[in-house]
Structure 1
């Protein structure tokens, strides 16, 4: 949402690249107060009903993080371009529904963080998915040139062999945290048990084990660190037409 519930934090856009012209993703990530998950959900449901009943147009997804410290919820939505950030944030809807956000949602939030990133089409699957389970891997990059070189090379092989299993790559714009992340989607948790060849497997088949190990070491050495989380969509709190 362009200015979700008026909870949107003022985001300093420190820098961004025109290299990738995919849609722009905004994520509001909330760490909830201990024991407040149910109250937060109730508040979100009331606000969502008000928003939809009053003709709100923005679509979003709400995600619950499975691992890590605390109870973390992510709210994600896309804009086509930067001009969308200039648009009015549905003032009539806000007038009718903002009080529900301040009364029913904000009191249950311990901390909030905003991330803006852009889809990288050249590394990303061609056909979007709407699956409810996400595996997101984040990369804090130390050597950007080596990182991009390896991902370009490996992903070109992966696309030839398993384009329907490719993830969606994002370039993070400014702020703190990772430089890139990739989202792999699953129809359900059982799908995570499937034993499929991954990008490195296909690269080894095409270029040999020695070359694969060389590229994997180059990739690892390009990183400061990497980490992953699994998220599950809450359809009751999400609002989309898919």
Structure 2
């Protein structure tokens, strides 16, 4: 393998399969009970798949997000016999309560993301859709900002993901900011741009901030809470 190809592979973060599930109105309880029944069957069949199910706290309707990590694309070639043994439960107890399901693959961006594994129960997820003219500037800015924060002995405060697949309305990147609980969101911390101004000066902060904003077509965010009862964090 060429040395440059090896280096590129080493810099790749793991993939994250993300499925957004829109639940039919009034069907949340039935959906959750269906997931529990499927989980019990899957465990009895010694399944090794793990996942997190997050419930969106704002926005229209009842929305859950199923997130599961993959080391690489090759994992999609593997069959899951344990899951196949429980597929009838999925069809009868889960699927009837789902109005819409949308799946995409994203990839963690190492170097600008936290090294520690995600263990918190609440996350704020910010989504970024980039424009064609200046979209390339966004990650350049993020990397420079993190380099400045590192000079102030500050580590990345969250996780950046690049979308590997996308619908016409999908974002290009999203950032996950973790919190221990909702109360932790009340703690006022120094903002990223405040740190940049303190470390590099107002002119540099204004330059980077303008470049970041010029890269965006649209941005939005939601807060999600981990539903531990219907998540499987360990095998």
TM over 0.5: yes
Tell me the equivalent position of 1:4: none
**1:95 Cα shift?**
4.0
TM-score, normalised to structure 2's length?
0.90
Q: Number of residues paired by the alignment? A: 224
**1:30 Cα shift?**
0.6
Tell me the equivalent position of 1:168: 159
TM-score, normalised to structure 1's length?
0.88
Asked if 2 retains the 8 angstrom alpha-carbon contact of 1:20 and 1:118, the reply is no
Tell me the equivalent position of 1:201: 194
- Point out 4+ residue stretches in structure 1 off by more than 6 angstroms: none
Selected match of 1:214 from 207, 216, 230: 207
The 5 A counterparts of 1:1-20 are none
CA RMSD of aligned residues (A): 1.8
Tell me the equivalent position of 1:113: 102
The 5 A counterparts of 1:75-86 are 75-86=66-77
The whole-number CA distance in structure 1 between the counterparts of 2:101 and 2:219 is 22
Q: Which runs of 5+ in 2 are unaligned?
A: 1-7
Selected match of 2:173 from 172, 180, 186: 180
The whole-number CA distance in structure 2 between the counterparts of 1:49 and 1:180 is 34
Selected match of 1:21 from 12, 17, 30: 12
**1:27 Cα shift?**
0.8
| Mapped pair 1:64 → 2:40 | no
| Mapped pair 1:132 → 2:121 | yes
The whole-number CA distance in structure 1 between the counterparts of 2:156 and 2:28 is 33
Q: Which runs of 5+ in 1 are unaligned?
A: 1-16
